[in-house]
Amino acid sequence: MITALAAAKAYASQGAMSVGNIGSIGGGGAAKGVDFGDLLKSAMNDVGHTAKMAEHKMADQVAGKAELIDVVTAISSAEASLETVMAVRDQVIAAYQEIMRMPI
């Protein structure tokens, strides 16, 4: 089973997490951060795009237009993206549950 850290590293190696500053801490509004919602939307779009690309590669291979290694690579990339999204989802749920357990 893949861990959340391994999934994040795999996702980062694909270049999908190169967003620069995420939020700004401290004074001054000079450093603009990335909205977390936009980051998640971008990640979900990347997963959808990767899955569609894998489907197209499979169809091309069935039609005899693509090599099997290209299909396997596309499927592997789609699987890594999906596992990353699931790992992030699990971490968000765990964080929410931890917040809900905090005393008021």
Q: Tokens 């990339």 appear where?
A: 77
Domain ranges of the chain: 4-10+34-101
Give me the long-range contacts of 94-103 (CB less than 8 A, separation at least 24).
none
- Each residue of 29-43: pLDDT tens digit? 555 677 888 888 888
- Each residue of 50-86: pLDDT tens digit? 999 999 999 999 999 999 999 999 999 999 999 999 9
